[in-house]
């Protein structure tokens, strides 16, 4: 039987799971945890949206989410992947954006808005600068389109001379 306290316990447990690549963020703060539902038979279904197709962290996210829900007392855990609508960096919560900046990672700006028709191919960075998460300077430059993970790029601040990662807008 579904009870409000059990559903709340499942949602809280799921919301505590951290991202394996950005451990300062929970899956909820990252915006990939879409929903947590409790069926009448007690089965918990958590829905996840990957940050991008083929995201290698999804397997770790699924394993951690399953383990956390089992630890919270739910024996039957089901995970569902939701691809539509696709994830966007706009889904990162304000708390998540603050956590990124507090850990020296520049949070993404607004995601590009989809438009009808063919998607133009651009072979250059879509942003000319991002604010430095350490000193706030806009005098920054991208040094590598890819950083530790493909969803981040590497930048250098000309103000404080520190390198930093930036979460790309998707």
Domain boundaries, the chain: 4-81, 94-112+123-167
Residue at token pair 């709340």: 8
pLDDT value at residue 123: 44
Phi, psi values for residue 90, rounded to 5°: -65, -20
pLDDT value at residue 72: 97
- The CA distance from 44 to 143, in Å, is 44
pLDDT value at residue 161: 96
pTM for the structure as a whole: 0.82
pLDDT band at 128 (very low <50, low <70, confident <90, very high): confident
Phi, psi values for residue 52, rounded to 5°: -160, 160
Give, in order, the Cα–Cα distances in Å from 157 to each of 32, 73, 151, 153: 30, 47, 20, 13
Annotation: CATH topology of 4-81: GMP Synthetase; Chain A, domain 3 (3.30.300)
As a whole number, mean pLDDT of residues 56-85 equals 96
């Amino acid at each position: 039987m579904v009870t409000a306290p059990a559903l709340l316990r499942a949602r809280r447990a799921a919301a505590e799971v951290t991202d394996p690549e950005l451990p300062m963020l929970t899956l909820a703060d990252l915006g990939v945890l879409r929903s947590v539902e409790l069926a009448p038979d007690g089965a918990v279904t958590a829905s996840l949206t990957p940050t991008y197709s083929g995201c290698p962290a999804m397997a770790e996210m699924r394993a951690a989410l399953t383990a956390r829900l089992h630890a919270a007392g739910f024996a039957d855990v089901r995970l569902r992947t939701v691809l539509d609508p696709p994830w966007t960096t706009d889904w990162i919560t304000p708390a998540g954006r603050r956590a990124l900046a507090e850990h020296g990672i520049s949070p993404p700006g607004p995601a590009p808005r989809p438009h009808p028709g063919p998607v133009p191919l651009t072979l250059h960075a879509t942003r000319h600068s991002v604010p430095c998460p350490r000193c706030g300077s806009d005098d920054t430059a991208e040094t590598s389109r890819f950083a530790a993970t493909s969803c981040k790029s590497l930048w250098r601040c000309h103000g404080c001379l520190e390198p930093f990662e930036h979460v790309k807008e998707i």
